[in-house]
Amino acid sequence: MPGSKKMIKLGAFLTATGQHIAAWRHPDVKEDGGVNLQEYIRIVKVAERGKFDMMFLADNAGVWERDIDSDGRSSRAAYFEPITLLSALASVTENIGLVATATATFNEPYNVARKYASLDHLSGGRAGWNLVTSANEAEAYNFGFDVHLAHAERYKRAREFADVVLGLWDSWEDNSFIRDKQSGRYFDPATLHILRHKGEYFSVRGPLNVPRTPQGRPIVVQAGSSEDGMDLAALCADVVFTAQPTLEDGAAFYKTLKSRLPAYGRSQDDLKIMPGLSPVVGRTKAEAEDKFAELQNLIDPIVGLGLLSSMAGYDLSGYDVDGPFPDIPDSNTGKGRLKVLKDTAHRENMTIRQLYMRIAGTRGHHLVIGTPQEIADKMEEWFKGDAADGFNIMPQSLPGSLTDFVDLVIPELQRRGLFRTEYEGRTLRANLGLRWPQNRFASVADHAAE
């Protein structure tokens, strides 16, 4: 918010039983966490107690081939549809933002606009849409395709998709609905705007049959780090979730993406960059290392190799797992994530086995194992070094790793004046310190974030 001290923003990345691929096998984890509403309620309340800006749900509209071929050893084959889950969680939370993925590759803009606008109303202004293109080829088979769309085409479609969704969210102005019983006028027709979009991929008349939302429109999150992904983020994202394994990588990405904003008439404060961070917290460094080792010892080699193959976009089962990670070309999956894998493997001279053991708990994101002070030091270094506006915290196991972070790291960040002690506003937009979004069709006065 204008005039307030800049502070770290935090998201809680809540992947079923935890970020670690073997978390479901941990004795303190509910093995059915992906489809257990009461467990999700317990976990999101921990994040809200910690004053997190938002919780974040990833999603796939299909089962990865790695999970089908895992000999029944993967815990990621079944979990809740995210909007349904967030609607339930909206009724048991008050402040935390509710963000979920909906792919632009296998959805229709009107449905996405309507669902997230409805969630924003249900939650009192706490909804966010994670705009992605589908890297999972298995999703294509569920929507009438025999071959997955090419990476460039997926992003081309996504740009038009985002433009339609944003246009639909501007169907109504802030005060369109009069609802005056005496005069009989329910809304002001002069403030209704019909989109009438006709493009290469979509023809959408509009208007949206949901009013302007409590935060103007839901927050847009974007999670791509390729050139296409960064261009899309610079165009329309409020938050970017990215995988940057080193401070140098993070600072370079931060500078590159922020420099693209002026071309779209946006300022640096209009976009919050929040790389993934996987913390393992202990009261001593040895305790933290023991916690991580306990999870690592639960990794099934079949699952680990399958995860690495799917992230790379290549079947690595024919390679010697104790040999070097091969120098494979770009695939049709996520190009940014493959680059992170290749850079990490080559920089540290890792074997395939070593690499899948590394990503089993991080998916290519930054892993920090240590005391609360050590983890806060790392976060402060990135934040003050212009490598991050905040972090998407990726707990290794749930709820244990998240509870450790809230109970041990949050107080340390607050002691340093780097993180809030109370929520600043009533909406996700206000807590992120983002400007009120003006309606593209109307001349309206600027609104300060509440």
For 221-263, what is each residue's pLDDT tens digit?
A: 998 778 888 999 999 999 999 988 899 999 999 999 999 999 9
Give the CATH number for residue 133.
3.20.20.30
Mean pLDDT on 360-364? 73
pLDDT in tens, 254-307: 999 999 999 999 999 999 999 999 999 999 999 999 999 999 999 888 888 888
Within 124-246, residue ranges assigned H as helices are: 137-140, 151-169, 227-236
Is residue 97 situated within a structural domain? Answer: yes
Q: What backbone phi and psi angles, to 5 degrees, belong to 333?
A: -95, -145
Is residue 38 situated within a structural domain? Answer: yes
Strand partners, 119: none
Could you count the other beta carbons within 10 Å of the beta carbon of residue 77? 14
Q: List strand residue ranges (DSSP E) for 37-149, in order.
A: 54-57, 97-103, 127-132
pLDDT for position 4: 65
Structure token digits, residue 191: 């403030």
Mean pLDDT on 313-318? 82
Rounded distance between C-alpha atoms, residue 363 and residue 58, angstroms: 13
| Chain centre to alpha carbon of residue 441 | 29
Tokens 């059915």 belong to which residue? 32
Is residue 449 situated within a structural domain? Answer: no
Give the gyration radius of the chain's Cα atoms: 22
Find out whether 101 is annotated in a ligand binding site. Answer: yes
Task: Please determine, for residue 160, whether its predicted confidence score (pLDDT) is greater than 60.
Answer: yes
Considering the entire predicted model, what is its pTM?
0.89
pLDDT for position 336: 64
pLDDT for position 448: 40
257 and 215 within one domain: yes
125 and 90 within one domain: yes
Sign, Cα dihedral of 369, 371, 374, 379: positive
333 and 232 within one domain: no
Rounded distance between C-alpha atoms, residue 294 and residue 272, angstroms: 34
Structure token digits, residue 112: 């996405």
Find out whether 443 is annotated in a ligand binding site. Answer: no
pLDDT for position 309: 82
Find out whether 191 is annotated in a ligand binding site. Answer: no
151 and 68 within one domain: yes
Contact 398, 57 (CB under 8 A): no
Mean pLDDT on 155-174? 96
166 and 82 within one domain: yes
Sign, Cα dihedral of 146, 147, 152, 158: positive
Contact 433, 408 (CB under 8 A): no
Place 446 in a pLDDT band, splitting at 50, 70 and 90: very low
pLDDT in tens, 32-70: 999 999 999 999 999 999 999 999 999 988 887 777 777
- The CA dihedral of 310, 315, 320, 323, to the nearest 10 degrees, is -50
339 and 230 within one domain: no
Task: Please determine, for residue 443, whether its predicted confidence score (pLDDT) is greater than 70.
Answer: no
Rounded distance between C-alpha atoms, residue 435 and residue 402, angstroms: 30
Mean pLDDT of the chain: 91
Provide the number of structural domains found in the chain.
2
Q: What backbone phi and psi angles, to 5 degrees, belong to 43?
A: -70, -45
Contact 388, 5 (CB under 8 A): no
Strand partners, 12: 55, 393
Strand partners, 277: 366, 393
Place 445 in a pLDDT band, splitting at 50, 70 and 90: very low
Is residue 94 situated within a structural domain? Answer: yes
Mean pLDDT on 86-103? 97
226 and 113 within one domain: yes
Identify the top-confidence range among 32-46, 65-79, 434-448: 32-46
263 and 353 within one domain: no
Structure token digits, residue 372: 């609360």
159 and 13 within one domain: yes
184 and 268 within one domain: yes
Is residue 1 situated within a structural domain? Answer: no
Q: Which domain holds residue 192?
A: 9-285+365-432
Say whether the peptide bond before residue 399 is cis (omega within 30 degrees of 0).
Answer: yes
Structure token digits, residue 97: 């933002």
Task: Please determine, for residue 447, whether its predicted confidence score (pLDDT) is greater than 60.
Answer: no
**Residue with the larger pLDDT of the pair 316 and 380:** 380
138 and 273 within one domain: yes
Mean pLDDT on 422-445? 89
Could you count the other beta carbons within 10 Å of the beta carbon of residue 147? 9
Find out whether 151 is annotated in a ligand binding site. Answer: yes
Mean pLDDT on 137-164? 89
Contact 273, 257 (CB under 8 A): yes
Is residue 308 situated within a structural domain? Answer: yes
Mean pLDDT on 169-195? 96
Is residue 441 situated within a structural domain? Answer: no
Is residue 446 situated within a structural domain? Answer: no
Please report, rounded to a whole number, the percentage of residues in the chain having pLDDT higher than 70. 95
355 and 369 within one domain: no
Task: Please determine, for residue 73, whether its predicted confidence score (pLDDT) is greater than 90.
Answer: no
